[in-house]
Amino acid sequence: GAVVSQHPSWVICKSGTSVKIECRSLDFQATTMFWYRQFPKQSLMLMATSNEGSKATYEQGVEKDKFLINHASLTLSTLTVTSAHPEDSSFYICSARGTGTGVSPLHFGNGTRLTVT
């Protein structure tokens, strides 16, 4: 089945630094990728939707200058958390949807646990 690889699986960084998270579709072309944030014991909150070659669409309340999303190719999207602060610590999950599909489920990466100290 379709595989989405997310890297790194965990990262610890100091406050004020930036962190980049990669999301790759390994065996299909992902026209649309989604970035979610999950707080402990809570559901997934959609942060943004990105389409290859165009600007990401951010959900209300998500700072686009803080969470930079780049979807430069059909197999790669990146999320950069800029000037990270402890409140940005969370579990970030990407998902991807392929081309040529009708009603299809999204394929999820395994998530990245970010801890900002």
Interaction between residue 95 and other proteins (CB under 8 A): yes
Contacts to other proteins from residues 9-68, by CB under 8 A: 32, 34, 41-44, 46, 49
Look at residues 34, 24, 26 and name the one whose alpha carbon lies nearest to residue 2. 26
Interaction between residue 71 and other proteins (CB under 8 A): no
Helices and strands (H, E) in the chain, number of each type: 0, 11
Interaction between residue 111 and other proteins (CB under 8 A): yes
- Is the Cβ of residue 6 or residue 75 nearer to other proteins in the bound state? 6
- CA–CA gap between residue 59 and residue 64 (Å, rounded): 9
